[in-house]
Chain A
Amino acid sequence: MSIVGAKVIRKEDPNLLTGRGQFVDDIQLTGTTHMAFVRSTEAHALIKGIDVSAALECDGVIGAWTAADLELPPLPGVPGLERPALAIDKVRFVGEAVAVVVAENKYAAADGTELVIVDYEPLGAVTSIEEATAENAPLLYEELGSNTVAEVPTEDDHQAIFDAATHTETIKLVNNRCTAAPIETNACLADYGPAGLTVWASFQAPHHLRNRISAWLAIPQDQCRVITPDVGGGFGQKINFTPEFFVAPVLSKILNRPVKYSQTRSEAMTSMYHGRAQEQEVSVAFDNDGKIQALKVFASQDMGGYADGTGMGMPVLTTAMSAGCYVIPNVSIAWRNVLTNTTPIAAYRGAGRPEATYLIERAIDHIAYKLDMDPTEVRRRNYIPKDSFPYPTHSELAVYDSGNFEGALDELLNIMDYQSLREEQAANRENPEKPLLGIGFSSWLEIAGFGPPGSLEGFGHLGSWESVQIRIQPDGSAIIYTGASPHGQGTVTTFAQIASEYLGIDYEKISVRHGDTATIPQGIGTMGSRQVAVGGEGVKNASLKIVENAKSIAAHKLEANPEDIEVADGSLFVKGTPSKNLTWAEVATFSFQRLELPEDMDPGSLDTTILQEVPNFSFPSGAYACVIEVDRQTGDARIRDMYLVDDCGTVINPLLAEGQVHGGVAQGIAQALYEEFTYDENGQPTTATFIDYLMPGAPDLPSYISGRINTPNPNNSLGAKGIGESGSVGTPPAVMNAVVDAVRHLGVTHIDMPATPQKLWEILQGGSK
């Protein structure tokens, strides 16, 4: 039986289940000092002075520094809009690092920060796109003359089509600001010694960080090592260049001691980059049959206090994917990026695609409302047919690879009893004792498997490939080194499965190493649902290359032709004569011994490095349905069932794939029902702890009912598309379509996320629609 596609339990687990995992804060180096930041309490203010003298008197404090003391270059960022490592003259959001204290222990470091006095002269704060774009709005950068840092107008607004259309609908949507909030906050440990710098970091892309730190500090890359040990979740939030990763090495060099930083949750909530925070105006033109004739999208991206390169790209991805899985002959897109006095925005699981899926899937339901048509029927009438791939869209970025959107919907309706649910919904509406039932759908499609050459370079990465090195050891076991940098995805397991399949080496004898720039050839990292579709393909290709060399060695020793050698069950044998065989261990040993090798082969041939490229993005898709119950008295919306049909092409490990879907769906539900990062009018965060930012717990979330279809990715030989972000892309519109459906009979067509009990209660009281 093939091990690719098998439910294999993880190699990662035993350490993590016994307290033997090693996260950054777990690492204890001799002489370690502890770093803490003084963070801005103002959203927008001039810094008139900083006094660190009292901190320096504090027991245990070693030093305290401001931007003026350290004279640091700005952090890597958007040219002309780079943020300072420590605020210079001005702060632009609450939580921005203003000064830094190092002490002998964490408690003394925290004490020291309390004693630093910062004299602020508050400026007016803008906390929303509307405020930031108003006339005479306070400006984050006076010299720019505007808070809008990028604006791309539409090339053609297709107004004539809208004017002539039988029906048009325009909706305004808010994709609520969320924070990814991995349970491990940002952490780093920098050790700058005579032999160079080592930084342990909770990060998703160690080489990316290494390259930037070494350039920033002007030290050669060979003397700059970044290690990402066990990383406690990332979700896109750990690929950002926040100040700690740069300031800690500087202070380690000054103090000639290791400097450790482990962020508090309250700090993480305001200083780790947020996600979403996009507002959209969406118009559709359609006929009486529900066929869409044109779509117009204007996306306004809240950038927060500093423009991050990835954050700048969010509306690019949103507008590229706005047409979803539908044939829409005319698509008009426009977008802008706007600075506000809030935490900066970058990628959060899905990164631009949840925003796209939300807008088109909400628009589809609006068509259904207008025509009084079943929402599944509107979808069916507009799907891209499954024989139309590759399918070019309005965007050069998105040429859909393959898909079967109607097949996914069919499978979805196969695993749920839609008719009964509609009957129950109607009956419940007549019975005041019963909760209101809502059923919502989402046919979603995302862009993943980042990506073709040039795609990640656009976000500041060295390349868009992923590295895989496979080294066969003399005993016939294999070690895979990869630039993929997993933090929960189970890549150690999936890569070992793929290698076992194509090397013919026992899964138990394959290890996967990652997260160390000193031992991994080069690497890009884990983001954009790329590990299996890019790195996994590299594991396969490296395995095949090694097997080719192993066959040559075996053929030489067995006096056969290489093409007659087969590999199975841990040995290499002559086709048809299994008794003429060598074990993998024997071949591996010979591979290092000159006298055992064919003349044209050098020792060490069972060691291969590949920088795997892919020709296109991948496009995972699927169909989700949400069944929700709304309490008539309290407005509390509870998900009764989530039906999930994913199409990620080839699945390497169904257990792990299911885990990825569940986690993404949970975050999607969280965005739709619970989570929103908010500010008051002065830019003070009002949800900066886990007390008031409602991350769901076990009682808040349902169990899931899953189905699957498989449309292989034609652009890699594994056929895999990626699955890490699907759940967070597909879920919010399914939930919100269900919420609106539950109160649709009251004339409601729109509710903004999150659908809190308060919003629903007001609707149920007849207060608003």
Chain B
Amino acid sequence: MSYPISININGNTYDKSVDPRTLLVHFIREECGLTGTHIGCDTSNCGACTVILDGNAVKSCTVLAVQANNHKITTVEGLANDDGSFTPVQEGFRQEHGLQCGYCTPGMLMAATALLDEIPNPSEQEIRENLEGNLCRCTGYEMIVRSVQWAAQNPDGIPVQIGENS
């Protein structure tokens, strides 16, 4: 049994037929080939799969692809500006060493982006509490907090071309 669905991801429409039990994260990764969104657990704890659905950060392992039918999603691949420059959140993580292995990073970026949309100048406590659903095993979180603070303090970011090496 398969269901036809249509999901807009990063401005592109994906019309596909899926098994109804397909998780959104598997749809994004396996059907659409957008592998920037990661999977780190099977209990909705780690947040590596966080995407933005209709403006809200959601864990895409906890949403069925069919539930996202006709909705609009942004993944990490859709974060950078059209000219390839980084958003303030991406640039903040780079400037403040907010990532090490980079596996939790896409989820962190999406959660942080949604946070700053809602609270443009969060306190340290607000940042920590709003990122509670995203686990990182490498950084100990302080540099992630600093990264989000950097983004809040630099809403225009620094335009940097993707692929540049510094």
Contacts and interface: CB of A to CB of B under 8 A. Distances in A.
Contact of B36 (A8, A19, A180, A662): A19
A663 B137 contact: yes
Contacts of A106: 26, 30
Contacts of B106: 19
B133 A697 contact: yes
Nearest to B99: A16
Interface of B: 19, 21-22, 26, 29-30, 33-43, 45-46, 48, 75-77, 79-80, 86, 90, 93-95, 97, 99-106, 109, 124-125, 127-129, 131-145, 160, 162-166
Interface centre among A231, A662, A689, A727 (most CB of B within 10 A): A662
6 contacts: A11-B166, A14-B165, A17-B90, A18-B76, A21-B103, A508-B166
Contacts of A663: 100, 137-140
A242 to B, nearest CB: 18
Interface residues of A, number: 66
Given A183-B137, A487-B101, A659-B100, A699 B128 contact: yes
Interface centre among B37, B97, B144 (most CB of A within 10 A): B97
B12 to A, nearest CB: 14
Contact of A9 (B22, B94, B105, B125): B94
Contacts of A230: 101-103
Contact of A695 (B30, B48, B75, B135): B135
B139 A666 contact: yes
A13 B99 contact: yes
Chain B at the A interface: mostly helix, strand, loop or mixed? Answer: loop
A452 interface: no
Contacts of B142: 662, 701, 703-704
A261 to B, nearest CB: 13
Given A14-B164, A16-B102, A691-B43, A666 B141 contact: yes
Contacts of B131: 697-698
B85 to A, nearest CB: 11
Interface of A: 8-23, 25-26, 28, 105-107, 180-185, 230-235, 262, 264-266, 487-490, 507-508, 511, 655-656, 658-659, 662-667, 689-691, 695, 697-699, 701, 703-704, 727
Contacts of B36: 18-21
Contacts of A184: 38, 40, 101, 103
Given A695-B137, A697-B131, A183 B46 contact: yes
Contacts of A266: 42-43
Contact of B35 (A26, A489, A507): A26
B79 A659 contact: no
Nearest to B94: A13
Contact of B165 (A11, A664, A703): A11
Given A23-B103, A184-B101, A14 B94 contact: yes
B59 to A, nearest CB: 12
B86 A17 contact: yes
Given A265-B40, A488-B100, A508-B165, A690 B138 contact: no
Given A183-B48, A265-B46, A697-B135, A16 B141 contact: no
A755 B6 CA distance: 50
A11 B143 CA distance: 17
Contacts of A8: 166
A704 B109 contact: no
A18 B77 contact: yes
A107 B19 contact: yes
A477 B48 CA distance: 36
A266 B33 CA distance: 25
A114 to B, nearest CB: 13
A481 B45 CA distance: 37
Contacts of A20: 36, 162
A384 to B, nearest CB: 30
A18 B93 CA distance: 11
A689 to B, nearest CB: 5
Contacts of A691: 43, 45
Interface centre among A9, A19, A665 (most CB of B within 10 A): A19
B99 A183 contact: no
B135 A690 contact: yes
B101 A182 contact: yes
Contacts of B42: 264-266, 689
A381 B164 CA distance: 53
Contacts of B129: 698-699
Nearest to B144: A698
A695 B48 CA distance: 14
A697 B105 contact: no
Nearest to A665: B140
A678 B77 CA distance: 39
Given A18-B76, A488-B101, 7 more contacts: A11-B165, A13-B93, A13-B99, A14-B162, A663-B138, A698-B128, A703-B145
A182 B137 contact: yes
B22 to A, nearest CB: 8
- Report the 4 A-B pairs with minimum CB-CB distance, sorted nearest first: A19-B36, A232-B103, A16-B102, A666-B140
Contacts of A490: 100
B32 to A, nearest CB: 11
B80 to A, nearest CB: 6
Contacts of B105: 16-17
A508 B41 CA distance: 37
Given A13-B94, A689-B41, A235 B137 contact: yes
Contacts of A727: 140
Nearest to B107: A183
B60 to A, nearest CB: 13
A499 B80 CA distance: 31
Contacts of B30: 105-106
Contact of A17 (B34, B109, B140): B109
Nearest to A16: B102
A704 B52 CA distance: 31
B63 to A, nearest CB: 16
Contacts of B26: 106
A690 B45 contact: yes
Nearest to A105: B30
Contact of A662 (B94, B102, B143): B143
A735 to B, nearest CB: 13
Contacts of A667: 137, 140
A488 B106 CA distance: 15
Contacts of B124: 703
A729 B77 CA distance: 37
B138 A233 contact: yes
Nearest to B129: A699
Contacts of B139: 659, 662-663, 666
A34 to B, nearest CB: 10
Contacts of B135: 183, 690, 695, 697
B35 A25 contact: yes
